[in-house]
Every structure is written in C-alpha cells, then in structure tokens.
Structure 1
Amino acid sequence: MKKEFVVIGLGRFGSSICRELSEQGMEVMAIDMDEDRVNEFASIASHAVVADTTDESVLKSLGIRNFDHVIVAIGDDIQSSILTTLMLKEVGVKKVTAKAQNDYHEKVLLKIGADQVVHPERDMGRRIANNIVSNNVLDYLELSDEHSIVEIVANESLAGNTIIDLDIRARYGINIVAIKRGKEIIVSPQADELIMVNDILIVIGADKDIDRFEKKMND
C-alpha cells in the first residue's frame, strides 16, 4: 500500500524530498506559497497546491490529517515553520518531520509537537567533514549528539582477521552491524567472518569509541 506524504515548502530541501518520494512511487502533495514553484511540481507530485499552511482552515480543507507523514521544509521563514508545525499537530497529523535552521528553532519545534527535526545543512556539513578528515571513512550518519553509524573501509591492518580476532566490541565498545563486499551485503556478520581488504564495515557506536578504533587502524 502506497504511503501518502505532504511536503510543505519547495525550496532546495523540500524539492529534493518531493522528487525522491515521487520517483519511489509515493503519493505526494506539494505545497508552497509561491505559484511558480507549485507549477514546477504539478507534473512531478500527485497534487501541487498554492496554500498558506499557517491557516488551520486551509489545512482542514486540504484533508491534511489523512496523510501518513507531513514534511515541513519551509526555508528561512522560521515563524511560518513554527506556526505550520503547530497547526499540523492541532489538526491531528500523525507524523510531522520539520526542518530546523538552528538549535533554538529545533527546541521550539520539538516543544510544539514535531515528531522529528532535521538539520540538513548541518548534518551534510558533518558528513562531508568526516569524509575529508579521514581516508577510511566513506559515510557518516549521526544518530544522536554522541552516537553514529559510520562506513569504514578495511585496510591491511584489519584484513586477514576475523571479527572475533579483532574483538572490536570488547576493546572499543562498538559493533560491526554489516559488511559490504562488492555487491554482497553481510548483515549481522558471524564472529568467524574473515575481513578482507576494501571490505566496507558498517559500524555503530559512540563517536569517541569509533574515533579510537579508526586511529588504531591507521597506527
């Protein structure tokens, strides 16, 4: 069964989400105050609407509470972002994800009921910084302020060892949750799985522990 989404705000972030959801075959209603932006998405989204989402009566007329998930991707207008999020929860939307401009904005969004808050620019900046700093880190996804999932390329110092040989969980407090080997993905690898050069280890743990492991790899 197709999920139904609403994307409010068709700037770079909202446009990207709207296109991706549509390409994945989801039902998407695209909403913006700018008529030109809405017209651009008329042939991409299932529905494209010019609307003021800070108006509760407008949201009700669009039947917004019947959608599975609403993404508030409003850009620089923090007041509209906050009011829209508040109105969405007031009319009974089950799940609201909102884009935040800064930490203060995030706190307000969470206080008024946003189910998830994202910082696309900050998070992408951190991912790029981690990729630049380390030769071994391919990708980085922050789970919280102190925990992450990281893709690390296995070098010669790891190759030829099994997971139990490396004893990563006991020594570093981190877990290898999967291994990418070419086109193959080994989920929850066994303790006797032999690591090969250029295997991509998908590791989860505290940032400080992941950093210790990565430094040890490069010693």
Structure 2
Amino acid sequence: MDRFVVVGLGNFGSSVTRTLYQHGHEVIAVDTDAAAVDDIAPHCSRAAHGDGREVPVLKELGADEADAAVVSTGDDLTASILATMALHDVGVENVYVKIISDNHARIMKQLGATEVVFPERESGFNLASRISEKGVVNYVRMGHDLSVQELVVPEQWQGHTLRELSVRAEHHLSVVAIHDTTIDEMIVPPDPSDTLKHTDTLIVAGTDEAIKNVADMASATAKEGE
C-alpha cells in the first residue's frame, strides 16, 4: 500500500483522493477549507484542516514518508508553487500538479513537478475528439501524437478475428482490449481467435494518424447504423 498526500480539495483533488483511497492506498488529504475537509474525511485515511504550503504541517501529517503527492489548489498559482516546494522540502520526489494555464505548467516543470495536469483542456480535447468522429467512443491522450481510443468495430472487421485482420501489421495499432457491450465486460488481453461482433468496441493504442484511419472506417459503420 502506497501513501499519497493530496493538497487542495476542490473537485479535482477530492476526486483523486476518493479514487486512490478506493484503490486501497493510504491517502492524507489537506485543505484550508474546513467544510471540504469534513466532506472528504469518510473517503480517505486522514483528512486535515491545515496549510499544505507549510513544511511543519506536512511533516506532522507524515508527508515526509509519502510515495507521491498531488497538488490541486484551484486558481491559486502561488499556493501551488509553495505547496510543491514544501513537498519537495520534506522529501516527496513525485509531485503531480493540477495547472490552469501554459505559463503555470512551465513554472511547475521548472520547479521539478513530476507531471502537470490540465483537466479542463484535456476533457475539452477528448470531448471534441469523440463528437467529431462518431466511431470514437472514448479518447485518452497519452502524449504527442499518441493516444488510446475506444472505437466501434468497423463493418469490414465484423465477423473476423484479430488474428485474421493482422491489426498490428496492417494498421500499425495495438488492440489492448475488447469491450463486449452486451454484458459490459472488458476482455484484457483480447483473445486473437475471438470473432469480432458489431456490439463490440475496441480499445486501441497507437499514433493519432493510425487510429484516425481506423476511426474513419468505424465512423462510416456508426453512420450506417443510424
């Protein structure tokens, strides 16, 4: 079981706290808003009303023994800077920071943040990607020109197996899972000998260009089914 510290309990910080705790980790949540602390208390190992920008506060909470931390201080740029510095000062090497702008991202990276997260931009990008192509069910960006997407099975692929289709060789994609939507079961890893059905969706990983080529086929399939 890993120990995590979450500084800032807005929507993002609270969601991270709940999810980490549900996954069986020890989670220490801290915020200056007493109401937010009370709300999260049943969903974490320890909820503290305090200033996560202060080294003594973090040490008292046991942050010096944390495996990683998440900083989510809303629009308060100064708070995120000070909290990140304080976490590094107590010895937390991996600090993930919610950001609000490109300038914010640049500053946090210079301060040694392990990763910056821009939820509003990412959710907007993912929504636009999904609604612009009807064959796309879900979209997760993994980095520059790389993503994982859930696609409708193209009509040309229905009734065939992954082995027959040679998806990796022919389309330069990896099918990491098949989602059987009739029973809502995720098959990971997929059996290459299973026949694809029109009720399946595919979770594929690869470059944006390679996925778009298959998504175009899937989009045509989706439109024909309307």
Could you say which TM-score interval applies, normalised by the shorter chain?
Answer: 0.7 to 0.9
Matched, 1:74 2:73: yes
Letter of the 1:18 partner, please give it: T
Cα deviation code 1:168-192 (max 9, x no counterpart): 33343222122223425041543x5
Letter of the 1:136 partner, please give it: G
Q: Which residue of 2 aligns with 1:216?
A: 217
CA RMSD of aligned residues (A): 2.1
Aligned match for 1:187, one of 179, 185, 189: 189
TM-score by length of structure 2 reads: 0.85
For 1:52 and 1:6, how far apart are their aligned partners in 2? 13
Deviates more, 1:169-178 or 1:90-99: 169-178
Cα deviation code 1:84-104 (max 9, x no counterpart): 112212221132111111222
The runs of 4+ residues in structure 1 deviating greater than 4 Å are: none
Letter of the 1:185 partner, please give it: I
Cα deviation code 1:93-124 (max 9, x no counterpart): 13211111122212221221211221111111
Q: Which residue of 1 aligns with 2:10?
A: 11
Matched, 1:32 2:31: yes
Q: Is the 8 A contact 1:179 1:199 kept in 2?
A: yes
Q: Which residue of 2 aligns with 1:196?
A: 197
For 2:144 and 2:133, how far apart are their aligned partners in 1? 20
Q: Which residue of 1 aligns with 2:88?
A: 89
More helix per residue: 2
Q: Is the 8 A contact 2:7 2:72 kept in 1?
A: yes
For 2:67 and 2:149, how far apart are their aligned partners in 1? 30
For 1:68 and 1:144, how far apart are their aligned partners in 2? 24
Identity of counterpart residues, as a percentage?
A: 35
Once the two structures are superposed, the pairs formed by residues 19-168 of structure 1 within 5 Å of their partners are 19-168=18-167
Structure 1 residue runs of 5 or longer lacking an equivalent are none
2:157 counterpart SS class: coil
For 1:203 and 1:40, how far apart are their aligned partners in 2? 38
TM-score by length of structure 1 reads: 0.88
Cα offset, 1:52, TM superposition: 1.9
**CA 1:199–1:131 in 2, change beyond 3 Å: closer, same or farther?**
same
Q: Which residue of 1 aligns with 2:168?
A: 169
Structure 2 residue runs of 5 or longer lacking an equivalent are 221-226
Matched, 1:205 2:212: no
2:112 counterpart SS class: coil
**CA 1:154–1:5 in 2, change beyond 3 Å: closer, same or farther?**
same
Q: Is the 8 A contact 2:162 2:195 kept in 1?
A: yes
Deviates more, 1:50-59 or 1:67-76: 50-59
1:169 counterpart SS class: helix
**CA 1:46–1:131 in 2, change beyond 3 Å: closer, same or farther?**
same
Deviates more, 1:93-102 or 1:160-169: 160-169
2:30 counterpart SS class: strand
Across the two proteins, how many residue pairs are aligned to each other?
217
1:58 counterpart SS class: helix
**CA 1:184–1:37 in 2, change beyond 3 Å: closer, same or farther?**
closer
1:195 counterpart SS class: coil
Q: Is the 8 A contact 2:135 2:151 kept in 1?
A: yes
Q: Is the 8 A contact 2:6 2:17 kept in 1?
A: yes
Q: Which residue of 1 aligns with 2:224?
A: none
Q: Is the 8 A contact 2:148 2:205 kept in 1?
A: yes
